[in-house]
Structure 1
């Protein structure tokens, strides 16, 4: 990454939810938010965080971030900490599909990020089952990547979308 700035990072932290959603507060999430904020600052990101936004407020901030000029930035990073379930996330007031987070950052809608990493980290459950894990032995692998002279990237190229757990499983917070 060799631009003038590392890039913008937005943290969307949800601890409390409207009573009609019947969701418990996410105790400990403010500590996770603060830790992430500090790590991202250490990595030279321009970091902003938001707490307990409604879906409309969250969507407004996402659209605002996507519409900025990222020409001098290496990448953009969005972190969401909330409740979730299989294929859904929760804002303070309603559920929504995770795609709503990254749909505004495609190369046709956000050309100043075309060819640059768009990083999305989601700390949310994707179900209610516990992952018991497995024991692995270390192994060494080699990867070769062929180079191409000319190529075309799809509109959803250069995305990294990382969840803190796999579909159907719960996630842990501090």
Structure 2
């Protein structure tokens, strides 16, 4: 995170972290809080966090992206910290901010946690497995899937055209 991003993030009334599947928002209250003191509304596209006793609003706005409302929870830790776990609707997506209009982070600088192939959806998993296979093949000096496809197409063409002379042909 750049110095400017870091400064802007520190000015927010909350701290936040994320994984590919969820966002954790932590609000550090100046005074002890109880659940009955709080008004917390977690909606699919918005979040409201207000202390009813002090009438202080910590967060009130539209979320960066939709969440799974039924899988999102909040709790109070150490009597002061309000912790909100938001389950992202779209896994495998980094958020630039929690609330639209709030300072954004550069998501290209995020170093993702290690994930298992089993965590990926079918299409993504297939693509990653193909890339891993091609990388191993290249490292061993063997043909990649694209090379094999070209070779198979060439063989098929030769079989379908036995009268052509391919002895002087060069293929790249």
- TM-score, with structure 2 as normaliser: 0.21
Which structure has more helix as a fraction of its residues?
A: 2
Q: Which has the larger radius of gyration?
A: 2
- Provide the TM-score with structure 1 as the length reference: 0.21
